[in-house]
Structure 1
Amino acid sequence: MHFGFQTVTEEERREKIYQVFENVAKKYDVMNDSMTLGIHRVWKDILVHKMNPCPGTLLLDVAGGTGDIAFRFINYVRSVRQRQLQRKLKHHQNLSWQEIFESYQKDEFNSLGDSQVVVCDINREMLKVGKQKAEHLGYSEGLSWVLGNAEELPFDDDKFDVYTIAFGIRNVTRIDLALQEAYRVLKPGGRFLCLEFSHVSNPLLSRLYDLYSFQVIPVLGEVIAGDWRSYQYLVESIRQFPPQLELHTPPSLAASLLTCPHF
């Protein structure tokens, strides 16, 4: 097993990764913005647009402790729901204003159309930060938080329409077990969407990327989060993670792997 460039046991890897995210949780969002110049937000937007959820979708977001995917999912579904309500009102021109108002109020109360997103993360501190963000930003409807391991999810079979994991699968100790669990909890025909960092194929860009990764990111980690070692690990973990084509998923799992060429 690898922890960055170190060779460790499975249990040591789990413990060390848990400690990394416990250390970086409070500065996680600030560091993501600093390291990617805000581009991680665009990648996450693309993931949710690719998902294209409709009202009624049940989403499981794994390793999503700070809520970025969950909040985008809620915003997206609300937007779709709003357009549906507007079209519905156009088809009820012959109703009285009272009837239109009552119908609109009834539908508006359920602004997500029974959609739900469950954020599952193994790290208590990351979940704590996510819950605080949700409260601050006003997200409550259709959102729940569960402490759980991607390798042994605390959910029934065939439960979710979509499973997402954004920048988290490379930190899973047994990726094969995590993929099996994803397949188990997804409904037949469910979708697996994975957003993860990848390798740079262009030699020149690869050298620049390495220079930025190893010389700049740990320094940012020290300056902003007071934690050089955790961000050194995160850079090294990208190098140890297999390229997209080498990451195999169960054959029946409808999978999309979106890869980003930098941290």
Structure 2
Amino acid sequence: MSESPNKTHFGFQEVDENQKQNLVADVFKSVAGNYDVMNDAMSMGLHRAWKWFTIAQSGVNPGNEVLDLAAGSGDLSLKFAAKVGPQGRVVVTDINPAMLAQGRRRLTDAGIAGNIDYCLVNAEQLPFDDNQFDCISISFGLRNVTHKDVALREMQRCLKPGGRVLVLEFSQPTNPTFSRLYDAYSFNVIPKLGELISNDRDSYQYLVESIRRHPGQEELKQMMLEAGFDRVRYHNLTGGIVALHVGYKY
């Protein structure tokens, strides 16, 4: 008899581990065309401030090499390209071809070329050398990874000694009253926005559910320490709706 596959979560559903990647791929294929519009609508534009804060914490300098995982439509990649300059390099990656194409179009339209490469990448199996990058970022993508511990170890492997990793992700509000209001907004408003803007309620229902299944601030910090990162810290943004975790390699 063949061994039963392990289970994992897809939103609030329990699914076979070997199914999750395709299910997540279907979600992002569906939302790619309206991704930026929905980000603005759902966060009321706050995602822009969260990403600028991430860049400010990156320590990236001219000439550096940056890996942007789950880059989506390229918000962070665009900013990193400006910081590393013509002597540096940004590797823009996503596991989903539709999202990677969306990011490529956006960066090309912005005139970004020369210091940018594009790569279809699974965060659990990075096709890069050990100690290659000065900075590695993953923005609103880690929660979609099946084996987060594996992805974190891969990031640690590919980071240069002295480099830093940036994990920007939805997290857990720190105030109970605010948390209840956030739950009401998330479950009642966000799927409706998805239906109105993208004609896709189900994908944004998954988004809300996936946030609730993602490790909280302290749990993710511990996972990063176990993956080999040092001096891990996190910054709660907008009351903990989002947290930026920063870790170093020595």
TM, length-normalised to structure 1: 0.83
The separation in 1 between residues aligned to 2:133 and 2:174, in whole angstroms, is 35
Which residues in structure 2 correspond to 1:61-72 (within 5 Å)? Answer: 61-72=68-79
Q: Percent identity?
A: 48
Equivalent residues of 2:86, 2:115 under 8 A apart: no
CA shift for structure 1 position 131: 0.8
Which residues in structure 2 correspond to 1:4-153 (within 5 Å)? Answer: 4-77=11-84, 112-153=85-126
Counterpart of 2:229? 253
SS of the residue aligned with 1:207?
Answer: helix
Equivalent residues of 1:157, 1:184 under 8 A apart: yes
Equivalent residues of 1:161, 1:186 under 8 A apart: yes
> CA offsets, 1:188-239, max 9 Å, x none?
2221111011111212111110110000000000100110000000000010
- Select the structure of larger CA radius of gyration: 1
Question: Larger helix proportion, structure 1 or 2?
Answer: 1
SS of the residue aligned with 1:249?
Answer: helix
The separation in 1 between residues aligned to 2:94 and 2:101, in whole angstroms, is 10
CA shift for structure 1 position 7: 0.6
CA shift for structure 1 position 182: 0.3
CA shift for structure 1 position 75: 2.6
Equivalent residues of 1:182, 1:192 under 8 A apart: yes
Counterpart of 1:162? 135
The separation in 1 between residues aligned to 2:203 and 2:106, in whole angstroms, is 22
Q: 2:183 aligns with which of 186, 206, 210?
A: 210
Equivalent residues of 1:71, 1:139 under 8 A apart: yes
- CA root-mean-square deviation: 1.4
CA shift for structure 1 position 141: 2.5
Question: Larger strand proportion, structure 1 or 2?
Answer: 2
CA shift for structure 1 position 15: 1.2
TM, length-normalised to structure 2: 0.88
Q: Which moved more, 1:51-60 or 1:220-229?
A: 51-60
SS of the residue aligned with 1:138?
Answer: coil
> CA offsets, 1:54-93, max 9 Å, x none?
111110000003111010112334xxxxxxxxxxxxxxxx
Count the aligned residue pairs: 229
* Structure 2 spans left out of the alignment, 5+ residues: 1-7, 243-250
CA shift for structure 1 position 14: 1.2
* Structure 1 spans left out of the alignment, 5+ residues: 78-111
The separation in 1 between residues aligned to 2:155 and 2:81, in whole angstroms, is 21
Counterpart of 2:148? 175
Equivalent residues of 1:150, 1:178 under 8 A apart: yes
Equivalent residues of 1:196, 1:257 under 8 A apart: no
What is the identity, as a one-letter code, of the residue corresponding to 1:229? D
SS of the residue aligned with 1:164?
Answer: strand
The separation in 1 between residues aligned to 2:137 and 2:233, in whole angstroms, is 10
SS of the residue aligned with 1:219?
Answer: helix
Equivalent residues of 1:65, 1:121 under 8 A apart: yes
The separation in 1 between residues aligned to 2:136 and 2:117, in whole angstroms, is 15
